């Protein structure tokens, strides 16, 4: 099973374009763009390994989402993209996070 990453930002760019551009990675991508969708994803998908929030959302919304995620799933790492790199910086940011956080993990030993 692939690790699951929840991408939060403005759809369809976040889940559509990012997931498409990074489809070569062994990751299952989920997307959300507002509070209800984030809650739904967190409550229905227990396999989420980490959350990445894009830089395109308002600071108040990003802060609120961090609080929701931390409350519902305190086990998750939350990664927040900067604004300075712009929308074109999202794919490299996501690729770096996934590469360092999820794909660099040692594989479990089969018993």
Closest of 70, 73, 109, 24 to residue 62, by C-alpha: 70
* pLDDT tens sequence across 52-77: 999 988 899 999 999 999 999 999 99
**Region of poorest pLDDT, from 2-6, 39-43, 65-69, 98-102:** 98-102
Q: Which CATH number fits the domain that encloses residue 68?
A: 3.40.50
Residue 107 domain-assigned?
no
Residue range(s) defining the domain that contains residue 34: 4-101
Number of domains in the chain: 1
Residue 110 domain-assigned?
no
Residue 109 domain-assigned?
no
Which pTM value belongs to this model?
0.89
Residue 109: pLDDT band by 50, 70, 90 thresholds?
low
């Amino acid at each position: 099973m692939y690790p699951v990453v929840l991408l939060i930002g403005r759809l369809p760019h976040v889940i559509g374009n990012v997931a498409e551009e990074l489809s070569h990675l062994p990751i299952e991508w989920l997307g959300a763009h507002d509070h209800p969708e984030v809650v739904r994803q967190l409550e229905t998908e227990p396999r989420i390994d980490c959350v990445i929030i894009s830089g395109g959302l308002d600071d108040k919304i990003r802060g609120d989402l961090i609080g929701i995620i931390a409350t519902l799933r305190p086990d998750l790492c939350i990664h927040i993209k900067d604004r300075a790199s712009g929308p074109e910086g999202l794919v490299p940011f996501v690729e770096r996070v996934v590469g360092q956080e999820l794909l660099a993990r040692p594989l479990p030993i089969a018993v």
